[in-house]
Amino acid sequence: MNSIVYLVPLFGVIGLLYTAWKFSWVSRQEAGDENMQRLSGYIADGAIAFLKAEWRVLAMFAIPTAIVLAWLGMDEGTPENPIHSSPIIAVAFLIGAIFSAFAGYVGMKVATKANVRTAHAARTSLAKALNVSFTGGAVMGMGVAGLAILGLGGLFIAFYNIFAQGQGLTSEGMRQAIEVLAGFSLGAESIALFARVGGGIYTKAADVGADLVGKVEAGIPEDDVRNPATIADNVGDNVGDVAGMGADLFGSYVATILATMVLGQEISVTDNYGGFSPVLLPMLIAGVGLLASMVSTFFVRVKNETDSVQNALNLGNWLSIVITLVASYFLVKEILPETLNLRGFEFTSMDVFYAIVVGLIVGTLMSIITEYYTAMGKRPVDSIVQKSGTGHATNIIGGLAVGMESTVLPILVLAAGIIFSYAFAGIYGVSIAAAGMMATTAMQLAIDAFGPIADNAGGIAEMSQLPPEVRERTDNLDAVGNTTAATGKGFAIASAALTSLALFAAFVGISGISAIDIYKAPVLAGLFVGGMIPFIFSALCISAVGKAAMEMVNEVRRQFREIPGIMEYKAQPEYEKCVEISTKASIKQMILPGAIALLVPVLVGFGFKGVFETTSSAEILGGLLAGVTVSGVLMGIFQSNAGGAWDNAKKSFEKGVLIDGKTYKKGSEPHKAAVTGDTVGDPFKDTSGPSMNILIKLMSIVSLVIAPYIAVHKTTAVASEITTEVVATETLSKELSTGVNLSFAQGGIEDQLIKFIENADSVAGKENWFNFVNLNFETGSDKLDSTSISEVNNISEILKAFPAVAIKLGGYTDNVGASASNLELSSKRAAAVKAALVALGTDATRLESEGYGDQHPAASNDTEEGRAKNRRIAVSVRKK
């Protein structure tokens, strides 16, 4: 493999160095007066307390899961259906989980530093406030991307050296290396789901409780220091919108690159990089995307109070996309050969570039469409504002309508993206389009994370009773942040759709199925069940928010009722009680939704294995994944956009809105209706909606990891591969390096073994099996027939002539009698041949033996001739 691969972890290191530099810069900014720092400390302490509690629960999940993965990784499968895994997959899983959790921690840590510093900077100017808040977001964006690239690149190099050193891209060793690497993605996505759901429940329980009692019942401003839930609300912004989002996009980023690598491993090419270019390309694109994002952060600036913050962020976003596009062109032309072929679909290197262009266009269009449906001043949000004039119910009706309408254009864009990227480069094109779209994740996340920082800054400004112009500046940033958060979620869902399709294609290849036939009743049933899962997942998330919010509402009411002097600023609310409610509720309620995503593929894959005679569990699981993907994408877009539109409809009242010729502001009846709509939309946009993209990818990754264990037995294909029994029509003679002159039948096992060993392009592994032709045993016994020992002698001489070769002997029987006794007999017969070879002078360390009983017959068991062919000993070359 070419040394260019070492650029990948280097890109990650550069990203982390940038992260450390900007983190240090944020830390050096002024943090305001003592009161501001005290309030910021409450928020930081609450966020850390939540993460510690969450990590304890996640450790209880991660460690047993790693043990199960290690146990599964010890299963090598059978010669006909080898399992290309290893116990090391457990290590990859744990590293992915730790990196994902750490990505969230980095984002949360910088956000709790940047919030108070942004509030203080807003005392000076909008430009300085944007600089601090966006730099805080950039720390998170570059940190997440840097960790992902470092982890993927470093583990890829390590696993290549462990499993496939010196082997080609399409070798069994490389397949094993990449399948073990899937454990890294599984760990990342698993933690991301729990972090996203748990953080979402936390933040929305606090937000809903603070809004309903504080703003609606008590009539005090948002983030008023008198509201007992306001600290929990601000903590929630960090653990949900920052830590949760960081873990979320870390998992998305890794899954997208991995999906492309899994498909690229199937492509055999001749290039200047040892044939590895189809796997290297997605990692290198991610690396240059990170560099492009770093460069683009320096262009996100405003000069005057009236400058558009949205335009400044858009400039940085567009610049990162353009730089990535140009760099991708040169990358593709440099490393890919002129033509490639995947599963019979032939395409050129320029076709791959065009697919990347499609991915970037799809991502851009998704952001534009999402911005249109969620931004203030646009028709969708204005329509909700107008409906607020007639009450709470019409506001909610308007928001639901906007959310449903907002699915149309994104789905059409996604469908066109899938069609065009596939037309250019087949299923590899779809996957590389997703990789191209996700290449600028660092910038997307920087833009996304700046919103919660600005929101927290506004909260601190309100609680600290800073001058009105400070809150105006933070509200300006916050309003834009709501839109960027919504566009980020739309972007993530779009990439999840393309990534899930690529993961689905990889699952189909590994599981051995050729198509998902919905005409089969079990597959159709799986499709319907899959379509249902996002609904029950959303119901659990929203219900969890409702339950926690009820506790929060009761606690806030209790404090207003029982602690005299709160409303007169004479007594301080018990903020810690509200923080405790959100923490306990979110940790408890996140378990069941997360378990659904992890366990359903396992239950379907293993639970229906062998149940239906003509339909495999892999096909049923494929139907389930199709249903989950389509339904989940629609639900994710609908909920995220509806929630974002409701939120900005509420914020529109802060500057005043015109309804039927009359101006309404905060505190008016239409504003109260808008607050209710925002409250309904909160769990939509921050809990269940953004979790959809993790749900569909995590279920695909779990399915990919278990695919080898539920694979359809390729009996027909294997039979043609290993059933090499021939009638000797010609005797060949060959002098070996030891001086022995060997005589054997043309096409016999000796002929095949020598050709395989001497062929420089052949690769030793689990799938290279050759049958003895004339090796017989006494009936029902493991004793070799004395008349058929010549082939064993010949194999012994070949092993002496090629001292580096190691082999494995596999024993098989027919299906007559009990399976247990067949397995025992086949094991004894394979061991007998091994013993005979040892007796003839072969070192026992070069030999393995295993019995497979009546599994995977080479011929029909309906005839005696077929049963005779099934009673065989086969040889596999494990080392050359």
Which of 52-56, 222-226, 518-522, 542-546 comes out lowest in average pLDDT? 222-226
Tell how far CA 272 is from the center of its chain: 30
pLDDT (0 to 100) of residue 713: 53
Whether 457 contacts 477, CB under 8 Å: yes
pLDDT at 49 over 90: no
C-alpha to C-alpha distance for 828 and 871, rounded to whole angstroms: 13
Q: Report residue 407 as tokens.
A: 């699915």
Q: What is the pTM of this model?
A: 0.76
pLDDT at 393 over 70: yes
**Half-sphere exposure (Cβ direction) of 647: Cα atoms closer than 13 Å:** 31
Whether 266 contacts 279, CB under 8 Å: no
* Confidence category of residue 716, pLDDT binned at 50, 70, 90: very low
CB atoms within 10 A of CB 251: 34
* DSSP 8-state assignment for residue 244: I
Q: Which of 200-209, 587-596, 801-810 has the highest average model confidence (pLDDT)?
A: 801-810
CA separation, residue 106 to residues 109, 138, 145, 244 (Å):
5, 11, 12, 11
* Confidence category of residue 326, pLDDT binned at 50, 70, 90: very high
Q: Report residue 139 as tokens.
A: 């720390």
∠ CA(464), CA(310), CA(647), 5° rounding?
A: 60
**Half-sphere exposure (Cβ direction) of 490: Cα atoms closer than 13 Å:** 35
621-667 tens-digit pLDDT: 999 999 999 999 999 999 999 998 998 899 888 778 889 889 998 88
* Confidence category of residue 857, pLDDT binned at 50, 70, 90: confident
pLDDT (0 to 100) of residue 1: 62
C-alpha to C-alpha distance for 95 and 231, rounded to whole angstroms: 33
DSSP sequence for 467-497: -HHHHHHHHHHHHHHHHHHHHHHHHHHHHHH
pLDDT at 63 over 80: yes
pLDDT at 729 over 60: no
pLDDT at 534 over 90: yes
Q: Report residue 256 as tokens.
A: 């997208």
Tell how far CA 344 is from the center of its chain: 27
pLDDT higher at 625 or 266: 625
pLDDT (0 to 100) of residue 168: 82
Could you tell me which of 18, 56, 316, 55 has the C-alpha nearest to residue 144?
18
pLDDT (0 to 100) of residue 78: 65
pLDDT (0 to 100) of residue 79: 62
Which of 1-10, 62-71, 347-356 comes out lowest in average pLDDT? 1-10
pLDDT higher at 197 or 404: 404
CB atoms within 10 A of CB 678: 25
pLDDT higher at 651 or 728: 651
pLDDT at 735 over 80: yes
pLDDT at 111 over 80: yes
pLDDT at 714 over 50: no
pLDDT (0 to 100) of residue 646: 93
CA separation, residue 194 to residues 9, 87, 177, 228, 601 (Å):
27, 24, 27, 27, 17
pLDDT at 774 over 80: no
Could you tell me which of 249, 136, 236, 143 has the C-alpha nearest to residue 189?
249
pLDDT at 878 over 50: yes
pLDDT more than 90, % of the chain: 37
Q: Report residue 145 as tokens.
A: 């991307």
Q: In degrees to the nearest 10, what's the CA dihedral of 8, 12, 15, 17?
A: -120
Instruction: Please tell me the total number of residues recorded for the chain in this structure.
Output: 880
Element holding 310 (H helix, E strand):
helix 309-335
Residue range 846-853: mean pLDDT, rounded = 89
* Confidence category of residue 81, pLDDT binned at 50, 70, 90: low
Q: Report residue 650 as tokens.
A: 């509420």
pLDDT more than 70, % of the chain: 96
820-833 tens-digit pLDDT: 778 888 888 999 99
pLDDT (0 to 100) of residue 621: 95
* Per-chain mean pLDDT for the chain: 87
